[in-house]
Structure 1
Amino acid sequence: MLNLSLWLFVGFALINLFFYAFFAGFLWRRKLIKPSGKTLTQPLSVIVCAKNEAQNLEKNIPHILSQDYPNFELILVNDSSKDNTLEVMEEFEKADSRVKIVNVLPNEHFWGNKKYALTLGIKKAKNDFLVFTDADCHPESNLWLQYLATAFNSQKQLVLGYGKYKTQKGLLNKFIRFETLLTAIQYFAYAHYKSAYMGVGRNLAYTAKLFYEHNGFVNHMNVLSGDDDLFVNESANRENTIYCTNKESFTLSDPKNTWQDWMFQKKRHISTAKHYKVRHKFLLGLFYTSQLGMGLFFLLTNILLIFKFEMDILQVLWLVMLVRYLVVMLVFAKATSVFNEKRLLPILPLLEWGLVTIQMLIFVSNQNKKPTTWAR
């Protein structure tokens, strides 16, 4: 039993280290975007889909309208809101000719489906280059559109961006930002090695041509979430995808304020993963399994070694774990610098193993009850 537990720990640790080496390859070799005059002339359509987001729209839309970009329209999609979202949108439309409104009425076939509302917004767009963000976030700089526009070219039709969450006090905020950072490290690394599997709707761009070539969201319209990651998973290939990790291209969102709301959000996001391509499901599952398996067999092996008084082997076990931790710390030190995230490193072990536990609980919970609406 001891030998089996020890070898399983070593095996999972090696697999886990392989993934972190993979992530490190992206972090130290990532490519930055350099805006150029030629690309800044192409017209863009920025699309924001909102459901009961009146206050967020009032706060965040001015950040989009103040972008230092010469030619773009802003399409605001009201997805059957019950508050005064539509009235707020109309005020922006009156004040700025670049603003267009799509008012989505309740539809019994697509009730609560963000993809239906987004599709109507895309159909309203007059430009081929589409940029997406959410009502509860805003660009961190007025150069956001410049960087996304520069990323497009004759081959690159899909641009992945980074969506940060605001830094606030409390452990919940640290978990939210850590999970967002870890997810970003993964999807940017896969994109770097030409196997993009997801993006985030808070900061995403693609061409209308790509959208229509893949029949929009038709293949996963019945899945509540996935207007961002499932579309990327379906449409991305080795040649058409590019990522943008310049700090000027980040968006900033308001994080959830309660554990319940955050868990609900994560349940909705995790429920889409089973629809990914087989190779992506395998690799993402293997990374998570290596995290979970390594932790479980590390604890079990410690107990068995102490029980059998095998102190020499116990020291080796802890040495392996220390080396692994140093590698992970190095990767996250670089990642927090690249993505401008603060105050996460001092409690990295707590965040890492806490997140593994939370993800396991969400996975189990999702087997019994799935979210029924895209907004909460």
Structure 2
Amino acid sequence: MKVLVTGHEGYIGSVLAPLLLEAGHHVIGLDTRLFRHCDFGEGPAKIPMLEVDLRSVGPDALAGFDAIVHLAGISNDPVGDLAPERTYEINHQASVRLATLAKQARVPRFLFSSSCSLYGASGEAYVQESAALSPVTPYGDSKRLVEQDVTSLADDDFSPVFLRNATAYGASPRLRTDLVVNNLTGIAFLNGEVLLTSDGSAWRPLIHVKDISRAFLACLEAPREVIHNQAFNIGSTDENYKIREVAEIVQGVVPESRVVVGRGATADVRNYRVDCGKFSRAFPDAVPQWTVRRGVEELYDAYLKRGLTNDDFFSRFVRIEQIKHLTAAGRLDAELRWIDAEEGREGYDFR
């Protein structure tokens, strides 16, 4: 299949794109390259790409594709809270526009990277895909709106599928240290403290980035009737954890580390456990293979091997800090677009 992967140089995309290539697909990337100087190790694989802002994609660019895997967007709650209007513009409006253009271009399959964040504050009960959606952040709400609007585009010739990813973790060529497992492991590695900024009581479903990528591959290759206009919780029902439990796993893996609750830590309003049985029944060969403990071990080894520093951990590997840096340096405007049209292509030294 000829597949367009938006955000292919990001945290998930830099793992997913090579997997699709290995599976024999013809992969083209699309990325605005905000994080091109955020490599962890060798960096993403070089594949043919369109260097363009998602909001500026034209209809001609989508002609001839068999599927679009849509990952690009504002990637988490803190960035969404920093610029909620941009979150809705990029994550919601531009995503719906992309799906609409894809349908017009006769692209038959559209895989959307949604999020379990749209469950928001669901509490102790396990939530299935049919549960009421109650996002508590602009990021989560933007995912809800995309699902709502793109669902209505589905017909005999256009099959969207919504992959509601659990919170990701694991090493990636474009590492993020603003994800809870990556963050707790990194701070423990650097400073010996497994630092909780909340009271640790909230539930969160967790999944390795490689398992997310395998789920996308499965949905890409599945018969149409299996995925047509469906939503799937992507994760493992057994891999729901309280944040405090994650901290204790990190403490058990990282030598001479200890759990510390930050001053003024309170309960996180985001609190949800998910049931991932629908995906595991539909795709028994693509169920997650990683556990959080194994992921922490992988991260610790990667941090040690690559000599992770405090400077990198708290700056270029944190999405909101990178965006703030680009804006303060006059390279991004208030709409999060490159001021110099060639900036994303030529780049600069973050440090």
TM-score by length of 2: 0.29
Q: Which has the higher contact order (CA 8 A, sep 6+)?
A: 1
Higher relative strand content:
2
Higher relative helix content:
1
TM-score by length of 1: 0.27
Based on CA coordinates, which of the two structures has the bigger radius of gyration? 1
